């Protein structure tokens, strides 16, 4: 039987803010399964796991669980409901780029049994990685990184990120309340097969019901692990990966380093629950989504089939018209605005936030320093803003731009309403583009220099062969002449 060791965090979060959480609204109703929509939509390149290609063709009938997309990372996405593939064409996405992409369309029906993954009597680390790919398991906290790529051989600690600090979001809270057994089972399976020695759960103190369900699931688990449950103060962004590591483990991850470099793997509760369900043969085909905001008549959490159009979910929550409302995918701080309600839900869609527009006029920076006080990474946002806005990207890079976690705490406290996080996101993207272009140029230069060296070497070798032949011919001619001279005598 597992044991639970409960303690309070003793490491204060540097910076951060205390925004209104607005979480109680969506927790008033029981989380229910969303009715199957008439049509499901799956982006080939933006479903998670990188660019992909279709494994089915137009006209094919698929069952729930049929593999339909294979990505370059090895992740396989399955049909979340049965139906017929009707098209593979461009369609709007719920993505920061706001652009369309090629999508696979399924007209749903209820025909046929669901397909499941083969069961196993025993597991290894490699088998677990393979199962994660087959089941389409990604980081469900929002980043969508392929989970199996984190599972190296030098890990020793699993940190379960149950903080969910973003305002309005309660999807993780709901999942931990309703599926705590799966969260713990997934954590144990991962720890046992990767030979991890420590399991830690970080959870904010505003989730007492989720905490009780996790403690109950730990007590009922048959494993011998000691679960360390660390309750952290409710403060944004305590759920940031590096911030939670500091709050729970007292370890600071340095610039340019990753948690896995320190033997730590951080997972969202939903990711571990999906892993447990995949061991039982069920691919990841649905997720909990928070539907909330001032413009939603009935804020709630719903279990949504992946690929469901956003419009279908909003209609289910009582939203009939959208007018000039602002739709955000994710929370108000780290989410992004979406204009196309026909865009589909993907595996990283954790919240649909519908509100009246909140944009305020941008004014010049008054150098008040509030952004620096709020920054959890201890950067100087006002300096970074000046550098990025004037194109001094190299200087911004030296100032620590790459360490920005884009939490937007600086946005929340800025009296001038400057979208600092957007500037920093643009600056980081530009730096990455410059680095990629520099790498491409370096590779091209290296190829050119290698070609020139090869051509020079070949020319030298050819000249050496010519010289050898001339020498040989001269020697032979001298011998012939000598022979003729001797004969004439």
pLDDT per residue over 148-173, tens digit each?
999 999 999 999 999 999 999 999 99
In the prediction, which pLDDT does 488 show? 67
* Ordered per-residue pLDDT tens for the chain, 489 residues: 788 999 999 999 999 999 999 999 999 999 999 999 999 999 999 999 999 999 999 999 999 999 999 999 999 999 999 999 999 999 999 888 778 999 999 999 987 789 999 999 999 999 999 999 999 999 998 778 999 999 999 999 999 999 999 999 999 999 999 999 999 999 999 999 999 999 999 999 999 999 999 999 999 999 999 999 999 999 999 999 999 999 999 999 988 899 999 999 999 999 999 999 999 999 999 999 999 999 999 999 999 999 999 999 999 999 988 878 999 999 999 999 998 899 999 999 999 999 998 778 899 999 999 999 999 999 999 999 999 999 999 999 999 999 999 999 999 999 999 999 999 988 988 887 877 888 888 889 999 999 999 999 999 999 899 898 888 888 788 877 777 777 666
- Alpha-carbon gap, residue 188 to 346, rounded angstroms: 27
CA angle 379, 381, 382 (to 5 degrees): 135
Biggest CA–CA distance in the chain, Å, is 124
Q: Residue 160, class by beta-carbon neighbours within 10 Å (0-12 exposed, 13-18 middle, 19+ buried)?
A: buried
pLDDT per residue over 318-367, tens digit each?
998 887 899 999 999 999 999 889 999 999 999 999 999 877 889 999 99
CA distances from 81 to 224, 280, 293 (A): 37, 18, 28
- Alpha-carbon gap, residue 269 to 55, rounded angstroms: 29
The β-bridge relationship of strands 157-162 and 264-267 is parallel
Domains and CATH numbers, the chain: 3-112+120-288 (3.40.50.11540), 289-355 (3.10.20), 361-489 (no CATH)
* pTM score: 0.87
Q: Which residues, at least 6 apart from 15, have a Cβ–Cβ distance to it below 8 Å?
A: 373, 374, 375, 376, 377, 378, 409
Q: Residue 436, class by beta-carbon neighbours within 10 Å (0-12 exposed, 13-18 middle, 19+ buried)?
A: exposed
Q: Share the mean pLDDT of the chain.
A: 93
- Alpha-carbon gap, residue 46 to 40, rounded angstroms: 15
HEC states along 405-439? CCCCHHHHHCCCCCCHHHHHHHHHHHHHHHHHHHH
């Amino acid at each position: 039987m597992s044991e639970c060791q409960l303690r309070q965090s003793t490491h204060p979060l540097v910076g951060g803010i205390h925004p209104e959480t607005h979480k109680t609204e969506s927790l008033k109703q029981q989380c229910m399964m969303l009715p199957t929509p008439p049509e499901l939509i799956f982006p080939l390149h933006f479903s998670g796991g990188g660019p992909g290609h279709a494994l089915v063709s137009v006209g094919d009938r698929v069952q729930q669980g049929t593999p339909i997309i294979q990505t370059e990372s090895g992740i396989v996405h399955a049909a979340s409901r049965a139906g017929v593939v009707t098209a593979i064409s461009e369609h709007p996405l719920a993505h920061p780029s706001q652009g369309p992409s090629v999508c696979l369309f399924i007209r749903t029906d209820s025909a046929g049994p669901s397909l499941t993954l083969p069961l196993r009597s025993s597991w290894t680390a490699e088998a677990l990685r393979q199962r994660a790919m087959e089941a389409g398991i990604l980081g469900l906290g929002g980043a969508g990184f392929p989970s199996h790529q984190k599972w190296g051989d030098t890990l020793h600690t699993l940190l379960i990120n149950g903080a969910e600090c973003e305002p309005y979001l309660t999807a993780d809270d709901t999942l931990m309340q309703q599926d705590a057994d799966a969260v713990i089972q997934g954590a144990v399976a991962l720890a046992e097969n990767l030979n991890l020695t420590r399991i830690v759960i970080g959870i904010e103190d505003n989730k007492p019901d989720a905490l009780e369900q996790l403690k109950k699931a730990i007590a009922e688990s048959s494993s011998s692990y000691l679960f360390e449950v660390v309750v952290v103060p409710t403060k944004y962004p305590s759920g940031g990966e590096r911030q939670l590591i500091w709050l729970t483990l007292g370890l600071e991850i340095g610039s340019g380093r990753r948690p896995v470099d320190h033997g730590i793997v951080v997972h969202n509760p939903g990711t571990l629950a999906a892993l447990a369900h995949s061991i039982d043969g069920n691919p990841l085909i649905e997720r909990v989504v928070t539907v909330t905001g001032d413009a939603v008549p009935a804020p709630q959490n719903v279990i949504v089939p992946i690929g469901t159009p956003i419009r279908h979910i909003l209609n289910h929550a009582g939203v009939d018209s959208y007018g000039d409302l602002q739709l955000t995918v994710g929370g108000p701080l780290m989410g992004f605005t979406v204009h196309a309600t026909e865009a589909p839900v993907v595996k990283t869609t954790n919240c649909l936030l519908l509100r009246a527009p909140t944009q305020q006029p941008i004014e010049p920076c008054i150098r008040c320093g509030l952004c620096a006080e709020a920054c959890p990474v201890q950067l100087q946002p006002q300096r970074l803003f000046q550098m990025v806005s004037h194109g001094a990207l190299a200087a911004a890079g030296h100032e620590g731009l790459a360490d920005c976690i884009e939490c937007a705490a600086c946005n929340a406290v800025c009296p001038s309403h400057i979208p600092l996080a957007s500037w920093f996101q643009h600056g980081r993207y530009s730096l990455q583009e410059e680095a990629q272009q520099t790498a491409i140029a370096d590779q091209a230069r290296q190829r050119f220099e290698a070609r020139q060296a090869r051509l020079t070497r070949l020319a030298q070798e050819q000249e050496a062969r010519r010289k050898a032949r001339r020498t040989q011919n001269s020697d032979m001619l001298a011998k012939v002449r000598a022979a003729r001279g001797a004969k004439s005598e």
